Structure 1
Amino acid sequence: MKTWKDFLSFTNIKERIVSLLLMLMLLSILYCSIYSMGISVVSRAGSMLVSYLFLYLIVIVAAYVYLIVMFQFIRTKREDSRTLVMKDYMLPLIGVQTLLFAAMAGSSWLSFQVMLNNQSSINAILTPVMLLMMMFYIPVQVFACYAIYDGARNPFLIIKDAFVKIIRHYRSSFYSMLVIFLIAFAYTSVMDAFFQYGTRFAANSGVVDIMTRSNPFMDAMELGLSLSGNMQLLPAFILSIIYGVLMCLMLVFYYTFMVCIYDEDVHI
């Protein structure tokens, strides 16, 4: 795959870019709508246990939809038209998501407890661990979905093999993720500089946000809900819409490229 045309031809997405883009956009908007409504209800309960339970449930439901989306990419690239029974993939999916949620939400909760007790030395260890989990979260999720598609069932082995795949192809995994990160970083920087919109990054909240809020249209949804009471937010809302479309387009190519890495077609 030496040229862009070779990549499009090899992965069979040339004719499906628009449909895949629309699928990601619609699912992103739907998720953001459900999350926004759900979190507003849960926040009124004032219970940390209820909040974590809601986040876990929405992670599981979103992961199921995400699995179906990932299957579309791997089936397109492989030209696989066999009939799938999605219930056969539920148990390994729930296992993987439960392990990841327990590790990431658990480390976030522990970090906040440590902060309350002024034990900064423990947080000095937890923070880099949480940053590493955030860095690996998306590629691990993608490779886990592809492994489940290929019949993997043990959630521990699925996660372990995903890490092995990332390490074996660390250059390809890093550079592809870097493009996504730079777009997100540029967007958040512009939003902060021109509209003073956004929150300061913190590892103990970011490690949960990447599971639940790292969605292309999340800002657009929140700004849209506030637009009727403050039209000054309109430029920020328009920018967030543009970012959502651009990020979804980049994800179409990112997920396709990750299939190539998974199938050992890329060696950088």
Structure 2
Amino acid sequence: MNRLQRRNYGGGHGYELDGRKVPGVTTILNVLDKPALQSWAARESASYAIEHWARLSQLPLMQRAKEIEEARYNTNRKAVVKGNRIHDAGEKLARTGEFDAPDEIRSQVEAYAKFLDVWEIETIAAECPVANTEREYAGTLDLLCRSPRLGTILLDVKTGKGVYAETALQTVAYRNCDLLQIGRHVPGPRGGKGKTEYDEQPMIEIDGCWVAHVLNDDVELLPARAEKDEFDAFLYLREAYDWHRAATDRKFDGYNPPIGAAVFPEQFERAS
């Protein structure tokens, strides 16, 4: 049985290493403050209110407030769904060399296919679960591949408007994993859909980390610095995640809030 297990549930997933739950890389990175995201949320709510002012003004106050509050989540959900579809298409392209893209993401998929050809990307493995067994974290990297210009690389695929600094921490966390799972398709009985099974092996040596930023009709290749300083920064966040979970997660076995219950004068004797 594999040491690392990725468990899918609903729209998310989690990881177990040697039978114990461990945090994912992106979950650890959520410890970081993201002021740009806060500004975007404020702008999205304000824009929604202005664009739908006539209709909103006819609603009860609390319903009006609820719609404005949820506007940013609905916008983000649509972007996430589209991003996931492009991401899945890219994974299939990298793995099989072909994908019949629907019209709404065709330009991005065609741009990604051209990108793979131009850089002569040879896929080693796609959508690979990985883990650092000493630091006890896991994740799923997008692509391990070879290019005659770049060597053996770890490629992270981004489909949003920008590529942010924390992406370097994400890639360096994957690079410093020591356990790698490579999937293989197992056909179902009588030619059914089948499933993916994973073979575990040590992490392969990486020459560098890169980001493929998928735009509407082009893909930019960006270098991601993934050296000791970046890994040290990620490990600080790993420790901060443990502290924050123990301090705030009531369902966590190690829950230990640093702020106690209120105290009152009568609980204490007067100092002599």
Does the alignment reach a TM-score above 0.5? no
Q: Which has the higher helix share?
A: 1
Q: Shorter-chain TM-score: which interval?
A: under 0.3
Greater radius of gyration (CA): 2
Q: Which has the higher strand share?
A: 2
Q: Greater relative contact order: 1 or 2 (C-alpha under 8 angstroms, separation 6 or more)? A: 1
TM-score if structure 1 supplies the norm length? 0.26
